[in-house]
Amino acid sequence: MKLVFISVISVFVLWERFNPASCSIGDRSSIYLNCNHRCVKENCTNDGEKFRTKAAQKQDIWCKLLRWSCDDECRYQCMWFTVQNFKRAGEGTPKFHGRWPFIRVMGMQEPASAFSSILNFAANAYMYKKIQRQFPLSKARAMPIVAFWHGFAMVCMNAWVWSTIFHMRDNPFTEFMDYACALSMVMGLFVAAVVRLCYKRTKLTIFILLVPLFYFVTHVRYLYEGVINYDYNMSLNIFFGVAGSLIWVGVTWRQWRLGHGYAWRMLCFTLLSGAALSLELFDFPPRLGAWDAHALWHLSTSPLPLLFYRYVLDDLHYLQSKELEKFAFKLT
């Protein structure tokens, strides 16, 4: 029942995540539209990208570094001007282009989500160092799965780097990279589950690696060549996310029944990941202008890599011990 609950939660959450509204009450209001029209006319060049001389002097160094255009600056300032007017009228905080308004910090659009993404990256990097020390790539000759886990950690760290960049500065390219790399991590977890399930079946494992890789490359090309199809992207994340979770639970439940005490870590990781994902169901204006449900979701997942990679390390130690037993048996 818990897995069914997590699957249902995933459907609703990913629908919200990958199906943002194109417009909202905030950006449709006459206050916002008039403010933005006036701001662009007074401060921007004809294309809206560059500032007029006096307006350019008012922009801080952080916004310049993150390439906030004049049009972007007008939208941001008019967004908060509109929020203030809504509150004076006794109305709630409006959304703009399907999103809540966030306070900009050091030029970052969504500072809390960016900070939480950095924490997730740090947790993955910290545990990857442990993998490197205990199972360097040189051991991949005897245990090919070691190379897989090295690659998996790289995929996860890369995904959190782009999540950080996207939350710092949202534009079509950073959005594409965030969505593509997030999918790579979800598919990576699915592939990891199947690889562990089919351990020692080399040809089958290679086939399992190549098919999702080919499909991922095809999908990324599809995303890059046109406007992101949120429904299609959502469907892929749901399929690979739920399928991967079900396989991992099956693998680790069997390990647990066979007496592998470390298997509880992966079971907890899977269930806690689903529970953390449910945070996105709570749609509320950002607390302190920065902490919305999405930021809290990223924050709640930041300690989970510690649990996940502890399982990976314990499992690698177990597999290594089995290899040593076989070697000792051959010598006798």
Q: What is the mean pLDDT of residues 5-23?
A: 45
Predicted pLDDT of residue 228:
64
Which one is predicted more confidently, 305 or 330? 305
Q: Percent of the chain scored above 70 by pLDDT?
A: 88
Q: How far apart are CA 173 and CA 47, in angstroms?
A: 20
Q: How far apart are CA 235 and CA 220, in angstroms?
A: 14
Whether 160 and 120 have beta carbons less than 8 Å apart is answered as yes
- The band of 25, judged by pLDDT with boundaries at 50, 70 and 90, is confident
Q: What is the mean pLDDT of residues 308-327?
A: 81
265: pLDDT strictly greater than 90? yes
Lowest mean pLDDT among 31-35, 56-60, 88-92: 56-60
Q: How far apart are CA 196 and CA 192, in angstroms?
A: 6
Q: What is the mean pLDDT of residues 196-210?
A: 78
Q: What is the mean pLDDT of residues 280-289?
A: 83
Which residues, other chains included, contact 144 with Cβ-Cβ below 8 Å and sequence gap of 6+? 202
Give 123-144 pLDDT, tens digit per residue: 999 999 999 999 998 887 888 8
Q: How far apart are CA 32 and CA 311, in angstroms?
A: 51
- What residue has token string 């449910």? 278
Give 177-195 pLDDT, tens digit per residue: 998 899 999 999 999 998 8
Whether 14 and 242 have beta carbons less than 8 Å apart is answered as no
- The band of 165, judged by pLDDT with boundaries at 50, 70 and 90, is very high
Whether 79 and 95 have beta carbons less than 8 Å apart is answered as no
Residue 328 tokens read as 């000792």
Whether 208 and 198 have beta carbons less than 8 Å apart is answered as yes
Which one is predicted more confidently, 99 or 264? 264
Q: How big is the chain by its Cα radius of gyration, in Å?
A: 23
- The band of 325, judged by pLDDT with boundaries at 50, 70 and 90, is low
Q: What is the mean pLDDT of residues 185-212?
A: 83
Predicted pLDDT of residue 164:
96
Whether 121 and 298 have beta carbons less than 8 Å apart is answered as no
- The band of 229, judged by pLDDT with boundaries at 50, 70 and 90, is low
Q: How far apart are CA 14 and CA 292, in angstroms?
A: 16
What are the b/e assignments for 22-40, b being 16+ CB within 10 Å?
A: eebebbebebbeebbeebb
Alpha-carbon distances of 213 from 185, 216, 230, 287, rounded to whole Å: 12, 5, 20, 39
Residue 303 tokens read as 């300690």
Predicted pLDDT of residue 51:
83
Predicted pLDDT of residue 226:
67
